[in-house]
Structure 1
């Protein structure tokens, strides 16, 4: 049962977070620190996002009350994620882990010619993070873990279409150069190995970035500095054996996305991102079928604060998902694969959070993931 504890964690992570609340993509997992002995892993995941809507009648297109609508086209671009980790025991009580993930991101592209209000608007952001953790075991039941996280983020946003007609020239572009910054992680865990029970509480601090940015618009351009924070978060992970070779697992994640503002110096004091805080809940069951094969099934629900008026750069509001994982173990190697279907919450794209200009409904995403782990 103790070995199966790690098996379920690998299955849960194989399909990744895929399309999460705000810019959140991985959920910042630290489960590798609980692996036995020396262990290394590598993972890859891809998400295909179907994200489309319709322009809504506004005073910028036609007259007030004009029912004119046009399809936005599919604005969600496919994206890929990579991850890796290494864990080793220093002695019977102390162990360390190094984790690489890509925690934050956005890939949105409104096709030119489809949406009159948002056509030509694009946003892309990428991130890489390395987390170094130490874990100290007081005994077989209690332990603490903590460490530092270094992350780098860059991106670019282009605003165009009738919704941004108030911008001089009708277009605006900001390039966000790569910036690196540090944060920290701390947590505590309680375990009963005999029944594969583990409850782990982990806090991740917010991280402040001071980006070098370049804003360009019809009147010219300017090099500026823009401060942005990625959110603090809390993860509660729980699992316990409920029958022979059967495990129940759950996760609750809170993230303070509302601190993630992007307010460029020459954009009139407006926030380009405008996100709300969220809770994400996961509940699942895993089962070991034989010495080689295991599987898991989980349901996920993300509850986002506020109304469904959102930034056009992140036109969803919460989500529901189902995730299926399978794992094959042979000697010291285990290969995990997962698929996840996500139903994205309906939302209204509202630049500046004021007037809704596009209605997004009945959208979804499909994600696939693969992880290879090896114990030394």
Structure 2
């Protein structure tokens, strides 16, 4: 029973690409800290988004083509009990990223626009149990981020052809949380806070010929956002439990403002709204070897259909399933998830007017996790 929330965690990670238009990927899972005993796990997720639409009528209404690329989500984690009260964990994930390309030769408004952003994170956690019911957990998170963005297409006006490259840089933040448990009914409620992580990225901006064609070096400060997680589970019948998760992310403070671009336009590359994501599911143990889980998830649209072309969706609805096989000290989890991505209208801020319409989009995620107790 204790394992179903951890099982949900990998499925949330597998479909995290829908969060905030494809930027929030792993969901920053820390459920391994609640595993019983010493435990190690290796996970892998694959996400296939299908995001496309049409230019606005003023650009001829041409099809954009598929603009979101597949991506992979490797993960690795280790949890160890130092004493019966103190335990620790190390977690590797890829929390944030973007893989967007509007194919050249299709969209006139945005063709050639692209964003390739990657990150890697390493979290070190400690958990202290005061007693059977109350515990606290927290630690340090280090993350590396970098990437490249190109703004292209007639919708960008004089900025058509602008390119910026961000060198990889590390930053650090912290994690802190508290949990309440009643093992006799498989109850656990955990609240966790993730601080922002500041990165100082060496930056080179290449201006279009119409703006002088210069290459300008600078430093851009980018903060990956703070977030809150509320995780809960409880048994409702023998071998059956329900679980829920709420994740809030402060995306409005996630700004990428290269100096020259900001000086020319008064704005940066992206402007996102805060998001809250809800997950609700049920887990069932069928026998000593097999268990299963099913869940639904929902992220409301932000209420404004105008979005950045670099994050061209707005909210989603999803459903997921997983099968879990346990044998001796090994546990294998395999699952799938389907997401119906919300419609959105990319705009370029020149002015704030829809330049395309992205509708009827979805994503499919598959994943597997192998864990060992020792």
Q: Where in structure 2 are the equivalents of 1:140-289 lying within 5 Å?
A: 140-167=132-159, 170-217=160-207, 218=209, 219-267=213-261, 268=264, 269-289=266-286
TM-score by length of 2: 0.95
Report the alpha carbon displacement of residue 15 of structure 1 after superposing the two structures with TM.
Answer: 5.9
- Aligned match for 1:360, one of 353, 358, 361: 358
Which residue does the alignment assign to 2:372? 374
SS at match of 1:190: strand
1:12 & 1:153 partners in 2: Cα distance?
Answer: 23
Q: Deviations over 1:118-170 (max 9, x none)?
A: 00111011110000000000000000000000000111101111111222xx3
2:6 & 2:194 partners in 1: Cα distance?
Answer: 19
Which residue does the alignment assign to 2:106? 114
Q: Deviations over 1:218-275 (max 9, x none)?
A: 3121111111111110000000000110010000010000111111111123210111
Which residue does the alignment assign to 1:65? none
Which residue does the alignment assign to 1:340? 337
SS at match of 1:324: strand
The runs of 5 or more residues in structure 2 that have no matched partner are: none
Which residue does the alignment assign to 1:318? 315
2:311 & 2:330 partners in 1: Cα distance?
Answer: 38
Decide whether the 8 Å contact of 2:227 with 2:248 is kept in 1: yes
Q: Structure 1 residue 89 and structure 2 residue 93: aligned?
A: no
SS at match of 2:2: helix
Range with greater deviation from structure 2 (94-103 or 12-21)? 12-21
TM-score by length of 1: 0.94
SS at match of 1:134: strand
1:303 & 1:243 partners in 2: Cα distance?
Answer: 31
- Aligned match for 2:62, one of 57, 62, 70: 70
Range with greater deviation from structure 2 (275-284 or 303-312)? 303-312
Which consecutive segments of 4 or more residues in structure 1 shift more than 4 A? none
Q: Deviations over 1:69-107 (max 9, x none)?
A: 100000010110111100011111110000111000111
Q: Deviations over 1:310-337 (max 9, x none)?
A: 0000000111111111110000000001
Which residue does the alignment assign to 2:33? 33
1:199 & 1:24 partners in 2: Cα distance?
Answer: 23
Decide whether the 8 Å contact of 1:187 with 1:203 is kept in 2: yes
Q: Over the residues paired in the alignment, what is the CA RMSD in angstroms?
A: 1.2
